[in-house]
Copies of this chain bind each other. A is one copy, B any other.
Amino acid sequence: MEAAVARETDRPGSEAMPTNRADRAPVLLVECEDRSGLVHAITGVLLRHGANVVGNQEFVDPGARRFFMRTEFVGVGDPGAVGREVASLLPPGAKVRLTRPEPKRIVVLATREHHCLADLLVRHSFGEMNARIAGVASNHEALAPFVRRFDVPFAHFPTDGMSREEHESRVADWIDSLAPDYVVLAKYMRVLGPAFVARYPSRILNIHHSFLPAFAGARPYHQAFARGVKVIGATAHFVTDELDAGPIIVQQVVPVDHTRSAEALARAGRDVEQFALAQALRLVLEDRVFLCGNRTVIFD
């Protein structure tokens, strides 16, 4: 009876999918110098192991002469054997990885702005990310009550009377105690020093509130206003030694016009910041991002 009523009036909106994808298929990630026959050799290994390939993408960067391949497969009892066998067939220097089935671990650094952090906490609390947020840290306390609503540990690292090196060293010790795979800068408004960056090579993601390389550095929305641009944007990228110059993962833009003040640009940009960071993080956590020099190869 109840079901009948429900069927009559319910919008069958149950297109929503189970968001916590616990049983991830193993993913084989290959990266090496390009040469003939790589796809044939790798698919041969998968075939011999009886793998059922559910997704496969490959790319050759012609300039770098490098080969990249990402293969999701099921039906193999010992995926590790696939990885070892593939590695044995590849040129020297090849990188072969098999992803773990369990979620990755991340820590998030923020300052005072909440929107990117809040978006990650919401996705996390509904199991939408292939990751556990092991903790959130900030150089301010403003976000502490909000983070705690989500039962995620919050750490406050004030900068008072401290050198940058000392501050970063404390933050890094905290990070290391949590053993994350990635460090996510969700509008962390401090420039990181080289020692900190070197500690997490290609493992720090940042969201910069401009369309890089335009408006690197401080106050990009004010720069954008002054330049009179008609589009603003956000860039999610890996952090390297050079400020705002690391490999770009996702960029998103939004059109604007002369009626927007610098503050209104900042407001308009928040949604794309949040979206770009979330999307970049998803790509990274699903092992879809390869590095090729300072460029990214992304299999989505």
Which A positions have Cβ atoms within 8 angstroms of B?
Answer: 1-2, 5-6, 8-17, 36-37, 39-40, 43-44, 46-47, 52-53, 56, 58-59, 61-63, 111-115, 118-119, 122, 125-126, 146, 149-150, 159-164, 167, 187, 189-191, 193, 209, 211-215, 217-222, 226-231, 233, 247-253, 255, 257-259, 261-263, 266-267, 271, 275, 278, 292, 294-298
Which B residue's beta carbon lies closest to that of A161? B2
Whether B298 lies near A258 (C-beta < 8 A) is: yes
**B159 pairs with A5, CB closer than 8 A:** yes
Known contacts A126-B114, A213-B214, A229-B212; A9 and B262 CB within 8 A of each other: no
- Do B13 and A219 touch (CB < 8 A)? yes
CB distance B36 to A52 under 8 Å?
yes
A-B contact pairs, 18 of them (CB 8 A): A5-B163, A9-B164, A9-B190, A11-B190, A13-B189, A16-B112, A16-B113, A36-B53, A59-B258, A114-B126, A118-B122, A125-B146, A149-B150, A213-B227, A229-B251, A230-B249, A258-B296, A258-B297
What would 8 more interface pairs be, CB under 8 Å, given A2-B161, A62-B261?
A: A1-B161, A5-B162, A14-B112, A63-B261, A126-B146, A227-B248, A227-B294, A275-B275
Are A47 and B43 within 8 A (Cβ)?
no
Copies in the complex: 4
Asked whether, in the complex, the Cβ of A275 is within 8 Å of the Cβ of B271, the reply is yes
Known: A122-B122, A150-B149, A212-B229. A159 touches B9 (CB 8 A): yes
